[in-house]
Structures are given as structure tokens and as C-alpha cells.
């Protein structure tokens, strides 16, 4: 799983049949210090997330397992909200605090 | 999934037998601002996307999780056509705004 920040939502009318009703959110992956890390991804959501939320998301085949219908072409799903995340920072830097 | 635009198709006559009836599209990946990242991807089309459409595709073994691609050797499948997206409540891109009426 990885940390991410929800940026917004993606609207898709035409979609694979098993994806009816799923919400697509734009997510910026974050490093342990909550800094942007890598390209944005589009994820399904089972945690009722919205823009600005700090979330936990799962990638790969397992992303489908989080959804009501597991056999779906989904490679990223938000599975939780993050209230607090801390890390032991390298090189004596201050550990990251949760929040924006 | 990732945002991408359909920029072409792939014609391949000699291929793995299970891939024969699948349509392959060339995708140019887009960032959250709608700009091309420079990366490209060939993907199986499970939704009937056309040239110029902005789409979502799923990668890895998730790409096999459709009726069309089940058990087939694909690692990228277009599973939705994008109408629009927003960032922090502001619409960044929409098909309606892009298409001249």
C-alpha cells in the first residue's frame, strides 16, 4: 500500500461493464514525508474520499479485491483514510506530521 | 489506472492466438494537467475507444480482469473513456470543451 493525496475526480460514462457505479479519483502518490512521489494515478475508492484527503491506496491486482466485484480491470483502489502517519526520517531530518 | 489519449492503432497479423480478436491502441500518457508525459503504452481496448479519445487504462495483471481479456497475455487494457476530470473542484479537461460544436 502507499500514501496519497486525493486531487480530484474523473468522470467516465463509457466504462467496462463491471465498473458500473465505481468512482474514479485522481491521486498524487506521496513518500513517507508526504511529498509528491511519481506520476498521478486514477484510483477507485471504497473509503468515500474527496479532494484534499490523505489516503491509503493499494495497487496492482489486489486493487480489485477491495471492490464489491473483485474481477474488475482496476489497478488502484483507495482503501482507507489516514489520520496520522509518522516515519523515522533519514539523516536526522524531522519526522513528517500528518495533515496538509 | 492512468490517463492517456488514443493516438493510433496497432495492426499485427502474426500474434499470439488468444490476442487475435483484440483491438490494440497506441496511448500517449497524460499528467493531471492534461499534458503528455512523454510515455507511451499499447493497450487492449475493452470499451470501443476511438482516435483522439482520452481514456483510462489498467495495467499489470488487472488488465486481464475483463470478459474480453480473461486469460490472455495483456498487461494494459483500456477500461473507461474519460468525459472530464477536475483538480480541487476546478475542471482541468473535458471532452465537451475540446470538441468543436
Q: Write the pLDDT tens digit of every residue in A41-50.
A: 999 999 999 9
List chain A domain ranges.
2-84
> CATH topology for B2-98?
OB fold (Dihydrolipoamide Acetyltransferase, E2P) (2.40.50)
- What are the pLDDT digits (tens) for A37-89? 999 999 999 999 999 999 999 999 999 999 999 999 999 999 999 988 887 76
A42 CB-side CA count, 13 A: 31
Residue A93 banded pLDDT, cuts 50, 70, 90? low
The ipTM assigned to this model is 0.93
Q: Does A20 touch chain B (CB under 8 A)?
A: no
Residue B87 has its nearest CB partner, among A16, A26, A75, at A26
Residue A40's contacts (CB-CB under 8 Å, 6 or more residues apart) are A7, A26, A27, A28, A29, B3, B31, B32
Contact B87, A26 (CB under 8 A): yes
State the smallest CA–CA distance between residue B14 and chain A in angstroms: 26
CB A73 within 8 A of CB B61: no
Do residue A51 and residue B67 have CB atoms under 8 angstroms apart?
Answer: no
Q: Chain A contacts of B65, Cβ < 8 Å?
A: 61, 64, 71-74
All three cell numbers of A93, joined, read: 531530518
Looking at beta carbons, which residues of chain B come within 8 Å of A9?
A: 85-86
Average pLDDT per 10 consecutive residues for chain B, totaling 101 residues: 98 93 97 97 98 98 97 98 97 89 55
- CB contacts of B85 in chain A (<8 Å) are 8-11, 26
Distance of CA A27 to the CA centre of its chain: 6
A41-45 and B36-45 strand pairing: unpaired
B26 shares contact with chain A (CB less than 8 Å): no
E runs forming strands in B1-101? 2-10, 24-30, 36-45, 54-59, 76-81, 84-87, 90-94
Bridge-partner residues for B80, per DSSP? A15, B56
Residue A4, SS3?
A: strand
For the domain made up of A2-84, the CATH class stated in words is mainly beta
Amino acid at each position: 500500500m502507499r500514501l496519497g493525496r486525493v486531487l480530484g475526480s474523473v468522470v467516465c460514462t463509457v466504462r467496462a461493464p463491471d465498473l458500473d457505479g465505481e468512482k474514479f479519483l485522481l491521486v498524487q502518490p506521496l513518500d513517507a514525508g508526504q511529498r509528491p512521489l511519481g506520476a498521478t494515478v486514477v484510483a477507485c475508492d471504497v473509503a468515500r474520499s474527496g479532494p484534499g484527503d490523505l489516503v491509503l491506496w493499494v495497487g496492482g491486482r489486489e486493487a480489485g479485491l477491495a471492490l464489491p466485484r473483485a474481477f474488475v480491470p482496476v489497478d488502484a483502489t483507495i482503501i482507507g483514510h489516514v489520520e496520522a502517519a509518522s516515519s523515522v526520517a533519514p539523516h536526522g531530518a524531522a519526522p513528517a506530521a500528518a495533515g496538509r | 489506472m492512468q490517463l492517456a489519449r488514443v493516438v493510433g492503432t496497432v495492426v499485427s497479423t502474426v500474434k499470439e492466438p488468444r490476442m487475435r480478436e483484440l483491438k490494440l491502441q497506441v496511448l500517449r500518457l497524460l499528467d493531471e494537467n492534461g499534458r503528455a508525459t512523454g510515455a507511451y503504452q499499447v493497450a487492449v481496448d475493452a470499451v470501443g475507444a476511438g482516435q483522439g479519445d482520452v481514456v483510462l487504462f489498467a495495467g499489470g495483471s488487472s488488465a486481464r480482469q475483463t470478459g474480453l481479456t480473461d486469460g490472455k497475455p495483456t498487461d494494459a487494457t483500456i477500461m473507461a473513456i474519460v468525459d472530464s476530470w477536475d483538480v480541487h473542484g476546478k475542471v482541468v479537461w473535458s471532452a465537451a470543451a475540446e470538441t468543436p460544436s
